[in-house]
Homo-oligomer: A and B are copies of this chain.
Amino acid sequence: MGREKRLKKVSIIAWSGDLDKAYPVLILATTAAASGAEVTIFFTFWGLFLLKRNDRWISGKCWMTRMLHLMNRGGSKHLTLSRLHMMGAGTGMMKAIFRKNRVPSLDEFLEMSKDLGIKLVPCQMSMEALGLGRDDLIEGVSDPAGAATALEEAAASDVTLFI
């Protein structure tokens, strides 16, 4: 590297609800936090489904959002691959490959994230649109916030990624 510049603050906008995108979000976040950086992950749209409790399925306040959650359950244990899902066969195989390589599960990464002080911020507007309440989400998430907050965090960060 030409110029030395320590990593002080990282922000990630986690938009995707895919298993294979949740991994880079959490791997990059925990790696940054472990090296001492302040890390914020802003979960928006499909990304919110990673923060959904695994024991919730049909959330929502109207038949439309309930239908959405029926079709797209969410929760760290239920995310699927963006390609090669193959009715679950590919996703199951990838999880087995990860286990064999001692890659932590998404659940373990989420616990690690909280232990490392990473701020897990759910997007307010997405929560309302998807009919998700605070009690639908896992424990330890921050107060919901909007796009303005995500942008302020991003402006103050050394690295900002949209994943």
Contacts and interface: CB of A to CB of B under 8 A. Distances in A.
A31 interface: yes
A158 B161 contact: no
B96 A161 contact: no
Nearest to A27: B147
Contact of A10 (B101, B128, B151): B151
Contacts of A3: 8-9, 156
Interface in A131-163: 146-148, 150-156, 158-163
Pairs of residues from A and B, 3 with the lowest C-beta to C-beta distance, nearest first: A31-B147, A7-B155, A161-B162
29 contacts: A1-B153, A2-B8, A2-B9, A3-B8, A3-B156, A4-B156, A5-B155, A5-B156, A6-B155, A13-B161, A15-B21, A15-B163, A20-B45, A27-B125, A28-B150, A31-B147, A31-B148, A64-B97, A65-B97, A68-B90, A68-B93, A68-B94, A72-B84, A103-B125, A155-B158, A155-B159, A159-B160, A162-B162, A162-B163
